[in-house]
Amino acid sequence: MKRLGIYNNKGGVGKSTLTANLGAGLALKLGYKTLILDLDSQRDSSKSLGVLDVERAINDIFEQEEARRKGRVVANEVKLKDCIIYNVRENLDVLTNRGLKDIESYIKETRRYDLVFGKMLIDLEKMDYGCIVIDCGPSQTSINDAILSYVDCIMVPIQTEAASVEAIGNVYEYLTMLDLPSSKVKFIVPNMFDSRLLDAKRNLVRIHEYFKNHTHVVITEPIQRKVKITEAGAHGKSTFEHDRKAASQFSKVVESVAEYLKP
């Protein structure tokens, strides 16, 4: 089981869109048993797959641990397996959230934030997921400190516009601050690319130049800016269930991750 975090401290670059479509692609196209862990308080990746129900969520596990920490007796133990929403699609389950405030405070009060998710998600080790795709919120938060420590690798979507390209270094600065190796960044996904625009082409070249010495980093083919991609999410569908051309934008990303997942 590999844990893949989708992160960029910049907002609106396509993290949630990529999470939903990568998860759906791995599950529906390639048959990988996949779990999407939604750690974006807006729950965009869950919603874009039609998951609106938050009755079961990762919060239940944190609330229970918080109660234990305060020395309260927990009568009916909640298990992680009871928090997962199963069969959102064939091979695709979702573990979503009901807001992140309480989780954020729990982690803030924990000395070893780097061990929190390993403990909370320990039961996943016994389940048969090939991959956990984790949607992270933007910016530097205690939850992101903890989840970036937990993941095996990070995928960074980058919008092909100047400000986003200039901000790439912020991800590495964050990893350094957390004392995590820069090699955790394995995939770069240029997003919202418009091949008709010279500026977008220039920014794509700049992305490739930035990573030319990072030999372990895979830069996938750019994902074009397509209305059908947004439209699919708004209908609670992945692109694979909505529009062939929009889906084809994610195929290469899915294949690159599948290559990485091979034993």
Ligand X SMILES: Nc1ncnc2c1ncn2[C@@H]1O[C@H](COP(=O)(O)OP(=O)(O)OP(=O)(O)O)[C@@H](O)[C@H]1O
Site string for ligand X, 233-252 (x = CB under 6 A): x-------------------
Minimum distance from residue 13 beta carbon to ligand X (Å): 4
Which span (69-77, 98-106, 196-204, 220-228) binds ligand X, by CB under 6 A?
A: 220-228
Long-range Cβ contacts of 116-123 (<8 Å, 24+ apart): 116/146, 116/150, 117/146, 117/147, 117/149, 117/150, 118/150, 119/65, 120/58, 120/61, 120/62, 120/65, 120/80, 121/37, 121/80, 121/150, 122/80, 123/79, 123/80, 123/81
By the rule CB under 5 A, 16 interacts with Mg ion: yes
Minimum distance from residue 138 beta carbon to Mg ion (Å): 7
Residues 6+ apart with CB under 8 A from 93: 34, 35, 36, 84, 85, 86, 87, 129
181 interface partner picked from ligand X, Mg ion, none, CB below 5 to 8 A per type: none
In the bound state with ligand X, the residue whose beta carbon lies nearer, of 11 and 181, is 11
Pick the binder of ligand X from 7, 26, 44, 107 (CB under 6 A). 44
* Alpha-carbon gap, residue 252 to 164, rounded angstroms: 22
Minimum distance from residue 15 beta carbon to Mg ion (Å): 5
By the rule CB under 6 A, 17 interacts with ligand X: yes
By the rule CB under 6 A, 13 interacts with ligand X: yes
225 interface partner picked from ligand X, Mg ion, none, CB below 5 to 8 A per type: ligand X
By the rule CB under 6 A, 192 interacts with ligand X: yes
By the rule CB under 5 A, 56 interacts with Mg ion: no
Scan residues 54-83 and list those touching ligand X (CB under 6 A).
none
Site string for Mg ion, 33-52 (x = CB under 5 A): -------x---x--------
In the bound state with ligand X, the residue whose beta carbon lies nearer, of 16 and 91, is 16
Minimum distance from residue 253 beta carbon to Mg ion (Å): 16
In the bound state with ligand X, the residue whose beta carbon lies nearer, of 92 and 136, is 136
Residues that bind Mg ion (CB under 5 A): 15-16, 40, 44
Residues that bind ligand X (CB under 6 A): 11-17, 40, 44, 137-138, 191-192, 223, 225-226, 229-230, 233
